[in-house]
Homo-oligomer: A and B are copies of this chain.
Amino acid sequence: MTELISADLIGSLNEQTRPAHEDDFGALGRQLARRGIDIEAQVARAMQWSVAIPTWGVGTGGTRFARFPGPGEPRGIHDKLADCGVIQQLTRGTRTVSPHFPWDEVSDYNALRQEAAQFGLGFDAVNSNTFQDQIDQTHSYKYGSLANASAATRAQAVAHNIRCIEIGKQLGAQAITVWIGDGTNFPGQQSLTRMYENYLSAMQDIYAALPADWSMFIEHKMYEPAFYSTVISDWGSSLIAAQTLGHKAKCLVDLGHHAPNVNIEQIVARLIHVGKLAGFHFNDSKYGDDDLDSGSVDPFRLFLVFNELVDAEQRGARDFRPAYMIDQSHNVTDPIESLMCSAIEIARARVQASLVDRKALAEAQEANDVLGAHRQLKAAFITDVSPILAEARRRQGGAHDPVAAYRAAAYRAQVAKDRPAIRGASSGIV
């Protein structure tokens, strides 16, 4: 295993924070014991958790207006794997990466798999890109890809997705996530129905190429890059597609891809009900697909999503095996720091949701003790579970405070020596 951050440094920093941590951990343990909860079971549970990091997430993101790169930007997939390795080493809860093609193309995928393993990383769902044109591409995606009016363009997009599956097999992945930007900017630009039929037909071609043990994740998004209609704009459109395709197809929930005010946790509950929840792209949002850091704007919403997930897990909902990935755009922070904090905030919401007294909750619900039921959730949410998260990291070799350790290690300054600075106007997520 490659040691990207000195284990000695981590150990010595943890030693400095040990007395405070032990005091907090002890007090929380006593409080939880009074509430009938074993803190050790919670630590063990936290240690099992992992969320995938998307390879593109370690690069600085941008908007259509501008992109402002930071120092030491990863030059390609190899640098990206190292950056993901740092996140995993310090947080110990991000054991896989999710690659994106053609961005992450290499000549030898077995070598790439071994390279990742050196950082303690495996490969999660592969992602196909048919929302941008590549230099050598025959047909443009300007007017769509899988839902394009042109059969030739659709076929090209299908072929790219099948190629992603082939690569994914070599990397040990078992799922492909299909997100397309297809849609329209004008009423009438395309037939809403014909676009959907074209999409379903193309997806069936991709589905046919899925290995037996693979899943297909369908990702819906309300808008952007299309601004009047989007083919898979909501979970209803995603569900019909998943039903049309078959049992390997499920619906992926990105927390930022919904209309304003929508109750996302109920969508999660509905997809669990029909056995079609593929998993999550975690982020936070205030306005649209803002791709902000998870839990940074509405941490209670994140908790309520996990409340559904823990509930489904504990009652043994059928076909319930969601995949978890962070999907954020880090425009003004060091992506490694943002991803570490986000991984922690996601884990925090899961531990908090695990503290809910589900028996008392069900009793209050059954008795229509509205406030009593609500207070069960709030009691879990206001609990500061930081000591559980820190302890779970420490026991696996991670840091009490990953950001402090990362800064102390000066990793960014180190890699910036080899990675050239990027200057000038650019924009978007290229």
Contact = CB atoms under 8 A, between A and B. Distances in A.
Interface of A: 20, 23-24, 26-28, 30-31, 34, 61-68, 131-135, 140-143, 149-150, 181, 184-194, 196-197, 222-225, 227-230, 233-237, 239-240, 258-263, 265-267, 269-270, 272-274, 285-288, 290-293, 296-301, 304, 307-308, 311-312, 329, 331-334, 337-338, 341, 348, 361-362, 365-366, 368, 370-371, 373-378, 381-384, 386, 403, 423-430
A293 B371 CA distance: 10
A365 B149 contact: yes
Nearest to A312: B193
Contacts of A131: 65-66
A34 B20 contact: yes
B311 A193 contact: yes
Contacts of A135: 423-425
A262 to B, nearest CB: 5
A252 to B, nearest CB: 14
A190 B287 contact: no
25 contacts: A63-B181, A64-B64, A64-B427, A65-B131, A65-B224, A65-B225, A66-B131, A143-B332, A149-B366, A149-B368, A185-B331, A188-B377, A189-B374, A191-B362, A193-B272, A193-B273, A193-B312, A222-B287, A224-B288, A225-B331, A233-B266, A235-B236, A237-B270, A239-B240, A338-B371
A260 B263 contact: no
Contact of A133 (B190, B291, B300, B425): B425
B133 A68 contact: yes
Contact of A428 (B65, B197, B228, B288): B65
Most chain B C-beta atoms within 10 Å of own C-beta, residue among A62, A184, A227, A297: A227
A427 B430 contact: yes
A66 B403 contact: no
Contact of A261 (B67, B259, B273, B308): B259
A20 to B, nearest CB: 5
Given A31-B24, A65-B131, A382-B384, A296 B186 contact: yes
A221 to B, nearest CB: 11
Contacts of A332: 142-143, 184-186, 189, 370
Nearest to A380: B188
A58 B299 CA distance: 30
Contact of A299 (B143, B297, B300): B300
Contact of A403 (B225, B371, B373): B371
Contact of A270 (B236, B298, B383): B236
